[in-house]
Amino acid sequence: MTAVVWIIALLAVGLGMLVLEVFVPSGGVLGFLSVVALGAGVATAFVEQGPWIGTLTLAATCVAAPLALALAFRLFPQTPLGRRVLPPPPRPDEVVPDADRRALLRDLVGRSGRATSDLLPWGSIEIDGIEHTAFSESGPITRGESIEAVGVQATALVVRARVAPPPIAPRSDGPPAEPTPGPQAVPRHLEEALEAFDFDALGRVTAAGNSTPAVKLDSAAPLKQS
């Protein structure tokens, strides 16, 4: 084997053991061997190929070693050993205090219940027979009033007063009732005739009988004698 082959083999073995040290817990043995192999490769390059080749080999080793470590640490969490040693970070809702309590309250959003105390605005409510601390967003709510859960604040439910729907008018299957006719207006010419008629004279004629001469009314035609 020529010197160049030895140099390449020593550098490859050194980088390989450096990457393997990340995946296999050897207590630092593989790391130490990788350093020895890399050092031997650089030294061989200086001795066999001269200072220029040795300097280039040293520079390449200084660049390749960190890149190999970075690649190993990037792939390590995806391996079975990495998932066991480095578990995934917890979700934000898992690190919040009382996460189980908040999850239970979120399941109650949209449910209805009743207030077991006056909410001014804090108080207690009851849903499905279980009492919870609640906060009213719709103003004061009296005890016994129906409520509806609309959200969660910390470890309390956000509720509002439940408004009852308006009553529905009963439907009638019969025909619609006919409108009641109002008072009808009297024609104008009939009003004028009634105003011109002398009712006093008519009364006198009726009282005196047929023997009394007819009294002339205010109408246009005179009355005939009987």
Percent of the chain with pLDDT over 70: 63
Q: What is the mean pLDDT of residues 91-120?
A: 79
Q: What are the pLDDT digits (tens) for 37-96?
A: 888 888 888 888 888 888 888 898 888 888 888 888 787 777 766 666 666 666 665 666
| 190 pLDDT tier (thresholds 50, 70, 90) | low
Report d(CA 122, CA 129) in Å as an integer.
Answer: 19
What residues does 159 pair with on adjacent strands? 136, 149
**Secondary structure of residue 131 in the 3-state scheme:** strand
Residue 214 has pLDDT above 60, yes or no: no
Taking the complete model, does pTM exceed 0.75, yes or no?
no
The second-level CATH assignment, the architecture, of 97-161 is Beta Barrel (2.40)
95 or 108: which leads in pLDDT: 108
Report d(CA 190, CA 187) in Å as an integer.
Answer: 5
145 or 216: which leads in pLDDT: 145
| 226 pLDDT tier (thresholds 50, 70, 90) | very low
State the pLDDT at residue 163. Answer: 72
User: What DSSP element (H or E) covers 203?
Assistant: helix 199-208
Residues 6+ apart with CB under 8 A from 82: 23, 75, 76
Beta 130-136 vs 156-161: how paired, if at all? parallel
Residue 201 has pLDDT above 50, yes or no: yes
For the stretch 97-128, what's the b/e string if a residue is b when 16 or more beta carbons lie within 10 angstroms of its beta carbon? eeeeebeebeebeeeebebebbbeeebbbebe
What residue segments make up the domains of the chain, in order of their start?
Answer: 3-85, 97-161
